[in-house]
Structure 1
Amino acid sequence: MSRNEKKPGRTTRAEGCALFQYRLSSDLLTVILCSRGGALETLAIDIGNTRASWACFKGSAITSRGQLESFDGIGSVDLSWGDIETIGIGSVDPDACRRLLAVLESVTGIVPIQMTNGAEVPIPILLPDPASVGTDRALNALAWSRREPGRGAVILDAGTALTVDAVSNAGEFLGGWIAPGLDLSARALATGTALLPTAERSVAEGPWGTDTSSATSGGIAILLAGGARALRDRVLGGLDADVATVVTGGDGDRISSLLGPEVLHLPHLTLEGIALGAHERQGGVGD
C-alpha cells in the first residue's frame, strides 16, 4: 500500500464537513474541511512557529487557500474538500505535525506525507547534516528549483525568523543565514526594556520617527531590511551570475518593499514546495 493509498474500509469525505481538532502547544486549533465539489489534487499544510497555512492545488494552480495568524484560541478554516488524492504536511514543529497527521489519517483514510526536516524533502542538500536544515528552507529551495530549472536564487523567508538561503543553478541547497524576524525582534525589544511598547507593524514616512511607536517600528523594520540586504549580497557573492532574489514568508511583502524592485515576491513558495515534495516523495508527477 502506498503512503497515500486510502485504507480499506475508510472513505474520503466528499460531502459534508469533517471536524479536525489537534493541539499545538497549549492551544486548540480546529480545522473544518468542507466539500464544495470539484476535483482537487493536493492539500498542502504548512505549520510554522507562529502560523499555520494551507492551500489546495490542482496541478500547479492554487484553487483555495487560507492562513491562521497565530495558534491562540480556536481558529477555523473552511476548506474546499472535493476529491483530494494527496495530503502533504510541512512543519518546523514535529510534535504538532505528528498530531495533525494522525487526525487527518483517521478521518480521511489518506496517509499524509510529512516533511519535518531537510532530509525528508526531495532536494539535494550539500551540507554535512541535511536533517539539521529547517523544513521550510528546503521546501522553498525545492519549489524554486522546479519553477526555474537551471537558475539559482537567494531565497529570503521572512517569518518568525528571517532566513537567507542559497540555491545553486543545479537546484541544490547550499546553505544560508538565520536571523530574528520582525515580530520576534519587536517582542524582544519590548520584553527586554522597561518602557518600550511592542512595535507596530508599520514604517512612518520621513527621515526619523517622531514618537516612540514610530521610532521602534521603523527602526526594527529598516534595521532588518538593511540586514537582509547585506546577507543577500553576501550570498550573491558565492553564486553564479543572473540568479534571482526571491522573498517569501508571512512578512515577505514588508521585506520585499524595502529591498527594491528587483525582488521577486512569491508568498506561497513554501506551500508549493509541500505540494511538490508530497508528489515526488510518493513517486507521482504533478500536472
Structure 2
Amino acid sequence: MNLIVDIGNTRTKYAVYDDGDWVVCGMGVPEAYELASAYLHRGQEVNMILSSTGAISEEVREHLKSVSTFFCEMSPEMDLPIRLGYDTPKTLGVDRIAGCVGGVVLFPGKELLIIDSGTAITYDFVSADGEFRGGNISPGLGIRFRALNEFTVSLPLVKCDVNHGYIGKNTHDAILNGVMNGTLFEIRGYIDEIYRDNPDAVVIITGGGSEYLKKTLNRSVFFEDKLVNLGLNRVLEYQKRLIGSEKLRIDFRI
C-alpha cells in the first residue's frame, strides 16, 4: 500500500492508496505511524511519501521511516513526473507541486489552472505538455479578515460566512461582504482570463475554502478535494519506478 503523510500549516493529514485507489484518510503523525505499523505486522509493504510545507524534525522523519519499506520525502529538487519552469524551484511549495501533478493525472494533455484555497490562495498554471509555468499567491479568507482587524484601529474581527450580501449597511457586513466578494471576484478573474486565452483549458479547485466556492463561483470548473494526495501518490509511484529501474541497471552491470 501507499501511505501519504502531509504535514501542513495547521494539521497533519494522511491517506492510503492501493493500486491507485483511495482507501482511507485521517489526521495525525501518531495515527499514521500506527496504521503503517499495522500493515507491516500483516506482512504488507508500506510505501511512504512524506510532504511538509515547513520544517520536519529528524525525530518525526526517522519515526516514520522505521515503519516503511520504501520511503521518500517530497522536494522540488527530486525527479518529478512534471517539469518545473520556475526561476527559484527551491522556494516552490511542495503542496503546489503535488496539486499540479494531481491535475496532470486527472487531465493529461490539457492546459491547467490549479486553484488551492487554504490559508493562502494559490493559482498555478501547467502547460498542456506537463510543465509547471509558475503561479501566484494571494491571502486566504482567514488572513484577509485578520488583517483588517490587526492592522487597523477600529475594525472588528469578522468571521467567514457564506451567507453574505453585496452592499454592507453596517461595518460588520461591509467587512464580510468586502472579503467574501473580493475573494470571489479575484478567483473569477483568474478563471475568466485563462478561458479567454484558451477555451479548452481546465480549471481545478481544491482546498478548505472550496466549499464556499462551490456555492458561489458560477463558473465551469472541477472540484477535487483529494488533489494534493492524488499528486503525492503519483510522485511516490514515480519514485518507486525510478529506484526500481536504477536497481535493474546496477544488477545488470554486476
Distance (whole Å) between structure 1 residues aligned to residue 80 and residue 13 of structure 2? 18
Specify which of 98, 101, 106 is matched with residue 142 of structure 1. Answer: 101
State the one-letter code of the partner of 1:278.
L
User: Does the aligned pair in 2 maintain the 1:245–1:263 contact within 8 Å?
Assistant: yes
- CA-to-aligned-CA distance 1:231-260 (integer Å, 9 cap, x gap): 33334455x431111101121222343322
Distance 1:120 1:187 in 2: 38
Deviation at 1:270, TM superposition (A): 0.5
Report whether the alignment pairs 1:53 with 2:53.
no
Structure 1 pair 142–109 and aligned structure 2 pair: CA distance change class (3 A): closer
Match of 1:269 in 2: 227
User: Which stretch of the first structure deviates more once superposed, 168-177 or 209-218?
Assistant: 209-218
1:263 counterpart letter in structure 2: V
TM-score (norm 1): 0.72
Which protein has the bigger helix share? 2
Structure 2 match to 1:219: 178
| 1:101-160 Cα distance to aligned partner (Å, 9 max, x none) | 222123x15453111436564311123333232211111111111222112211101111
Distance in 1 separating the partners of 2:94 and 2:49: 12
Looking at structure 2, the residues matched to 152 and 144 of structure 1 have their Cα atoms a distance apart, in angstroms, of: 10
Question: Does 2:53 correspond to 1:96?
Answer: no
**Any gaps of 5 or more consecutive residues in structure 2?**
244-254
Determine the C-alpha separation between the residues in 1 that align with 2:172 and 2:77. 39
Whether the 8 Å contact between 1:46 and 1:270 is mirrored in structure 2 is no
Structure 1 residue matching 2:159: 3-state secondary structure: coil
Which ranges of 4 or more aligned residues in structure 1 deviate by more than 6 Å? none
Instruction: Rate the CA distance shift 1:120–1:252 in 2: closer, same or farther, 3 A.
Output: farther
Which segments of 5 or more consecutive residues in structure 1 lack a partner in the other structure? 1-40, 69-74
**TM-score, normalisation: structure 2:** 0.81
1:243 aligned residue: 201
Deviations 1:19-70 (A, max 9, x none): xxxxxxxxxxxxxxxxxxxxxx1111222223322211112222111347xx
Q: Structure 2: which amino acid aligns with 1:43?
A: L
Query: Whole-Å Cα distance in 1 between the matches of residues 207 and 102 of structure 2?
Result: 13
Distance verdict in 2 for CA 1:204–1:134, change over 3 Å? same
Q: Which residue of 2 aligns with 1:43?
A: 3
- Given the alignment of the two structures, is residue 258 of structure 1 paired with residue 219 of structure 2, yes or no? no
Query: Secondary structure, in 3 states, of the residue corresponding to 1:246?
Result: strand
| Aligned positions, number | 236
Residues 1:191 and 2:164 aligned together? no
Report how far residue 277 of structure 1 moved: 0.6
Aligned residue in 2 for 1:279: 237
* Counterpart mapping for 1:17-166 below 5 A: 41-67=1-27, 77=31, 80-81=35-36, 82=39, 83-93=44-54, 95-96=55-56, 98-106=58-66, 108-110=67-69, 112-117=71-76, 121-166=80-125
Identity of aligned residues (%): 26
Name the SS of the counterpart of 2:176 in structure 1.
helix
Residues 235 and 136 from structure 1, CA distance in 2 versus in 1: closer, same or farther, beyond 3 angstroms?
A: farther
Q: Which moved more, 1:250-259 or 1:139-148?
A: 250-259
